[in-house]
Amino acid sequence: MDDGTQARRVVLVGGGHAHALALQVLGRAGRGAVRVTLVSPEPTTPYSGLLPAYVAGLASRADMEIDLARLAARWGVRFLKGRAARIDREGRRVILADGGTVPYDILSLDVGIAPDLSRLPGAEAHGIPVKPIAAFAARWDAIRSRLETLPGRPAIAVAGGGVAGAELAMAFRTAFAGRDPAVTLVCEGEVAPGLNDRARRLLAAALARRGVTVETVPAAALESACVRLADGRSLACDAAFVTTGAAAPALVAASGLPCDEAGFARVRETLQLADDDDIFAAGDCAAMIGHPRPKAGVFAVRQGPPLADNILRRVAGWPCRPVVPQRDHLVLIGTGDGRAVAARGGRLAASGRAAWWLKTWLDRRWMARLRD
């Protein structure tokens, strides 16, 4: 890549999973051709796949933390602690929340999502959003301590019947096993509708085995110490966790970037913005034109190396390659008792200790890739 010309300024905004992997490729292949800067609000970021294990007490905070600053230093990347407030495309610079600016030639965004609490009245005042994960992980110790000091059996509600809500509900049962917590998963209809039929049955069986109550009437509002259901009933709780709704990061709208109907940055198959060849976006903050996918970490992980490759190809003036996400992906749902439910596509489903072993092995391999 080093052709003797002046190094191009590549700025990575956000420490998401795609950027964590892209750092290695850029650091190895781009020295001399690029000067890479990683801008992130914190020097570490949590790996989303280990959040339920952390909540359950099966993994420590250190186990799930990716040390972005250390990773950047290892690969010759400048780390800048800061929060991007706006992208000035005309001036080709990132404007930070503190007023500072970072100039760029090539820019990439991997800033995740924001919680969308607007769909559930009272959620902002009385709910505990699980996204963004970094903010939730920072609060978890205090939340756990409060629940542990309550008299009697703690009552916990999880609003959101997707895979994330189901896995967290079982993690809460493990976290407070000595107190036999009353955990209720509040869904809108069936649990994890995105899974195939057999996988949903296995997950429902796991929830029942773990003592999680499933309420199929959706939440209408969160109130102080209770969840009000759509049929008028009230569900008493000491803590209400919200896993529903994902909003686009404010950076997209503030910068006037092209976006889909939900506000996420629209990117082509090359991960370049719909209207800008010099700005890329990956992970949950991006929506690929023609290839809608759920907001899942597996897609961000797979985007990391090709994202870096396309950045380097753009630097060199070569055409960028398409990065088409797979249609089906393996879902592994820990049940908090040494087992897991595995699902893929419309037919594959299994449950047991082997699935938990596979999930643990994949999580450890991913973390080792960023540490060793």
* Confidence check: pLDDT of 306 > 60: yes
Q: First-to-last CA distance in the chain?
A: 26
* Confidence check: pLDDT of 103 > 50: yes
pLDDT value at position 132?
87
Query: What is the average pLDDT across 127-140?
Result: 92
Domains of the chain plus CATH, in order, are 8-113+248-316 (3.50.50.60), 116-245 (3.50.50.60)
What are φ and ψ of residue 142, in 5° steps? -70, -40
Least confident window among 24-38, 148-162, 179-193, 271-285: 24-38
pLDDT value at position 27?
83
Least confident window among 37-41, 127-131, 273-277, 295-299: 295-299
Query: What is the average pLDDT across 214-239?
Result: 96
Query: How many residues belong to the chain?
Result: 372
pLDDT value at position 295?
60
On whether the CB atoms of residues 333 and 167 are closer than 8 A, the answer is yes
Give the model's confidence band at 1: pLDDT under 50 very low, under 70 low, under 90 confident, else very high.
very low
Closest CA to 262 of 86, 113, 84: 113
pLDDT value at position 31?
65
| β-pairing verdict for 331-334 and 340-344 | antiparallel
* Confidence check: pLDDT of 40 > 80: yes
CA dist., res. 157 & res. 223, Å (int): 12
Single pTM value for the model: 0.92
Q: pLDDT tens across 69-95, in order?
A: 999 999 999 999 999 999 999 999 999
Least confident window among 73-77, 182-186, 251-255: 73-77
Higher pLDDT pick, 25 / 98: 98
Least confident window among 24-28, 194-198, 313-317: 24-28
What is the secondary structure of 232-255 as a DSSP string? S-EEE-SEEEE---EE--HHHHHT
Higher pLDDT pick, 300 / 338: 338
Count other Cβ atoms within 10 Å, centred on residue 326: 12
Give the model's confidence band at 30: pLDDT under 50 very low, under 70 low, under 90 confident, else very high.
low
pLDDT value at position 244?
83
* Confidence check: pLDDT of 116 > 90: no
Query: What is the average pLDDT across 165-185?
Result: 97
Angle between helices 17-29 and 353-371 (to 10 degrees): 40
Give me the amino acid identity at 281. Answer: A
* Confidence check: pLDDT of 292 > 80: no
* Confidence check: pLDDT of 331 > 70: yes
Query: What is the average pLDDT across 318-342?
Result: 91
CA dist., res. 189 & res. 255, Å (int): 37
Q: For a pLDDT cut of 70, what percent of the chain falls above it? A: 95
Q: For a pLDDT cut of 90, what percent of the chain falls above it? A: 77
Query: What is the average pLDDT across 247-252?
Result: 92
pLDDT value at position 114?
85
Q: pLDDT tens across 222-231, in order?
A: 999 999 999 9
Residue with tokens 């909540």: 55
Query: What is the average pLDDT across 215-227?
Result: 95
Cα distances from 243 to residues 74, 105, 120, in angstroms, run 35, 37, 11
Give the model's confidence band at 24: pLDDT under 50 very low, under 70 low, under 90 confident, else very high.
confident
pLDDT value at position 2?
41
